[in-house]
Amino acid sequence: MSVLEPSCFSCRLSTYCFPPGLDKDHLYLLDSLIDKQRLFHKNEYVYREKKDFTEIFIIRTGSVKTYNIANNGQIAITGFCYPGEILGMNAIAAKSYQENAVALDTVSVCALKYCEFVKLSNQFISFNQQLIKLMSEKLASQLITNHACSAESKIALFLLTISNKMKNYGTSGIDFSLSMSRDDIAKYLGLATETVSRILSKFKLRKILTCSNKAVHLQDILQLEILAAEATL
């Protein structure tokens, strides 16, 4: 893990992370409360399950996988997080992190001590509103695994969810990289790895997308939306 000098003013996510309408003084205050920006390399942990909860994290660049390990040693993947998303909020009640968070590629995050976070929430009503918005978006993205729908629908919704996250970050929602493995996707969606590979190949034949290794290009968003509609009913 490396440490970088943080700055909200040079970050493209400042308008996404923080509520709109804040003046420069308030932005300077927010910037000063961020302890540091941290850089994690692939397979390094942002935090580990059951460790004491002291900070929340906002992803600036890269992607993070969150997962739990059951008593029998089985891994349950709980999500894939991208720039602008908050990590660690589900640790508030238990006061310990409820999952493992590991970098899927090179990841930079902003760390904010929870005590300072509470002060901000008490001081700015709009900060609470922005937090609720970000958390509701995270919950919505996790609903993919809770629906009893076809494997095609789950994968279509999964791809559209990542596409929307990329657009929120200000990059292409059409061309992006799947930083996680096919096996990780399968575990997250409750499918077999072979099923994920077969359906992606099927989507390629139907010209819904092209993919090479981890690079994905969405060719037919409308068809993906039609397939994904089943998963949102």
pLDDT reported for residue 119: 78
For residue 221, give Cα distances in angstroms to 13, 74, 106, 203, 231: 25, 34, 28, 11, 16
pLDDT reported for residue 28: 74
Q: What is the pLDDT of residues 22-53, one digit of tens each?
A: 666 667 777 777 766 789 999 999 999 999 99
Rounded mean pLDDT, 194-207: 97
pLDDT digits (tens, 9 = 90+) for 87-138: 998 898 899 999 999 999 999 998 888 888 787 777 766 666 666 666 666 6
pLDDT in tens, 44-85: 999 999 999 999 998 989 999 999 998 888 899 999 999 888
Q: Above 90 in pLDDT, residue 210?
A: yes
H helices of 52-124, in order, are 114-123
Instruction: Specify the DSSP element, H or E, that contains 15.
Output: helix 14-17
Q: In the chain, pLDDT over 70 holds for what percent of residues? A: 75
In this predicted model, which residue has the larger pLDDT, 39 or 149? 39
Written as six digits, the tokens of 169 are: 């970050």
Q: Where do the structural domains in the chain lie, given as residue ranges?
A: 2-143, 147-232
Per CATH, domain 2-143 is 3.90.180.10: no
Of 108, 78, 90, the residue nearest 13 (C-alpha): 108
Please give the pLDDT value at position 100. Answer: 97
Indicate the CATH number for domain 147-232.
1.10.10.10
Q: Binning pLDDT at 50, 70 and 90, where does residue 170 land?
A: confident
Q: Is the pLDDT of residue 144 over 60?
A: no
